[in-house]
């Protein structure tokens, strides 16, 4: 049985990310991989009135071999104001926006230098709200193979590899702000703003195992 999970740092991770943590004691963030572009490491999906909206944190040096923990945010771009405005537009009228806005807003007013720190702070808040009691650590070095008690979920949740989700995620419908058809596996913030305290139950039901 896997008691720990090894996975890359992600920006406002998807519901699948959180469902994969169910019944795990330790979350190990992969700190020594080379950053991979066009992944959830610096992007997330929200649901707007028009379509699925992709928020992307702009970065420096993505074409170079840089470890994920060392990748820097392009602070010349006003990405944080844009992202918060999108969150307000998508969820301002959602049932639990007023409950959680004060948790997230300070992070969007803070000037982060490294993507790693931003992602970690957002993850910590989301784990607290969803009452997922799991110890967060980071990898000491990059290892291709992991021990038997560790689930290797690195690059498992990938926008270009949706079939991978079948291993860890079972879509569980909940009330969303827009549209007539349920959109699965959006950012955890979609679930939080719409379901509030019930988010934990949805996450547990979404776990494949």
pLDDT of 81: 96
What confidence score (pLDDT) does residue 117 get? 98
Strand partners, 22: none
pLDDT in tens, 41-89: 999 999 999 889 999 999 998 888 999 999 999 999 999 999 999 999 9
Q: Identify whether the C-beta of residue 28 lies closer than 8 Å to the C-beta of residue 7.
A: yes
Q: According to the model, what pLDDT value does residue 209 have? A: 62
pLDDT per residue over 26-40, tens digit each?
Answer: 999 999 999 999 999
C-alpha triplet 53, 57, 58: angle, nearest 5°: 120
The SS3 assignment for 74 reads: coil
Return the SS3 of 52.
strand
pLDDT tens-digit series, residues 147-205: 999 999 999 999 988 888 988 899 999 999 998 899 999 999 999 999 999 999 999 99
The CA-CA-CA angle for residues 72, 123, 24, to 5°, reads: 125
Q: Would you state the pLDDT for residue 83?
A: 98
Q: Encoding tokens for residue 79?
A: 């990405």
Residue in 6, 112, 129 with CA at minimum distance from that of residue 58: 112
- Closest to 29 in 3D by CA, of 122, 93, 104: 122
pLDDT of residue 61: 85
End-to-end Cα spacing for the chain? 11
45, β-bridge pairs: 54
Residue 68 in contact with residue 8, Cβ under 8 Å?
Answer: yes
Name the residue with tokens 């110890």.
135
C-alpha 26, offset from chain centre: 17
Kindly report the number of other CB atoms within 10 A of residue 161's CB atom. Answer: 11
């Amino acid at each position: 049985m896997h008691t720990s999970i090894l996975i890359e740092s992600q920006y406002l991770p998807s519901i699948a990310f959180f469902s994969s943590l169910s019944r795990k004691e330790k979350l190990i963030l992969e700190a020594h991989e080379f950053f991979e572009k066009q992944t959830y490491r610096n992007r997330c999906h929200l649901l707007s009135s028009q379509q699925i909206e992709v928020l992307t944190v702009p970065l420096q040096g993505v074409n170079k071999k840089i470890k994920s923990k060392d990748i820097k945010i392009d602070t010349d771009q006003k990405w944080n104001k844009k992202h918060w405005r999108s969150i307000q537009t998508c969820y301002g009228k959602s049932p639990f926006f007023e409950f959680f806005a004060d948790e997230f807003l300070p992070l969007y007013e803070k000037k982060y230098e490294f993507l790693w720190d931003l992602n970690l702070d957002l993850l910590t808040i989301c784990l607290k709200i969803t009452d997922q009691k799991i110890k967060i650590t980071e990898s000491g070095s990059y290892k291709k193979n992991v021990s038997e008690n560790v689930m290797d979920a690195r690059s498992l949740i990938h926008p270009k590899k949706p079939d991978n989700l079948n291993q860890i995620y079972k879509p569980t419908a909940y009330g969303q702000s827009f549209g007539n058809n349920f959109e699965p596996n959006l950012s955890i913030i979609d679930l939080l703003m719409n379901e509030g305290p019930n988010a934990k139950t949805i996450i547990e039901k979404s776990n494949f195992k």
